[in-house]
Amino acid sequence: MARKLAKSTVERFRKHLEDERTRLEGLVEEYERELQVARLTESSSDRSPDPGNAEASSLKLEYAKELSIEQNTLDLISKVDHALARIKTGHYGICENCGTAIPIERLDVLPYSTLCVECAAKFN
Ligand SMILES: [Zn+2]
């Protein structure tokens, strides 16, 4: 059975994860605002006589980039939420797949990780 993290350590990570979640949510809001602007720009360029111009396509590229950045951020938020849920159930710091303790050095770098290094390598 894996050794559980000290309550104060879990508490430290919980705080860190919650701060991270707030930061990520702020980023998503920012992306949403930028995407709103991109959408407006895009629809007005559709009405222009030359929709295939270089400016329009570079805007489209930028729009796609923003979308994928936003998607990555949303993925990260769901990972953070998942880790917070593990804290609630008392499973934080335990690998979800094999049940061994996740080294604290790993949690320091990736506080939202719920897999040990070996299992993370297998799943990615
Ligand atoms: Zn594992």
Give all domains of the chain, ordered by start, each with its CATH number: 7-123 (1.20.120.910)
Pick the range with the lowest mean pLDDT from 4-8, 21-25, 51-55, 79-83.
51-55
Q: Are 101 and 6 in contact (CB under 8 A)?
A: no
13 Cα: distance to centroid of ligand 1 (angstroms): 19
- The predicted-structure confidence for 20-64, as pLDDT tens digits, reads as follows 999 999 999 999 998 888 888 777 655 555 656 787 888 888 888
Residues with CB under 5 A from ligand 1 (ion): 95, 97-98, 116, 119
pLDDT of residue 15: 97
Distances (CA, A) of 30 to 67, 68, 82: 12, 14, 23
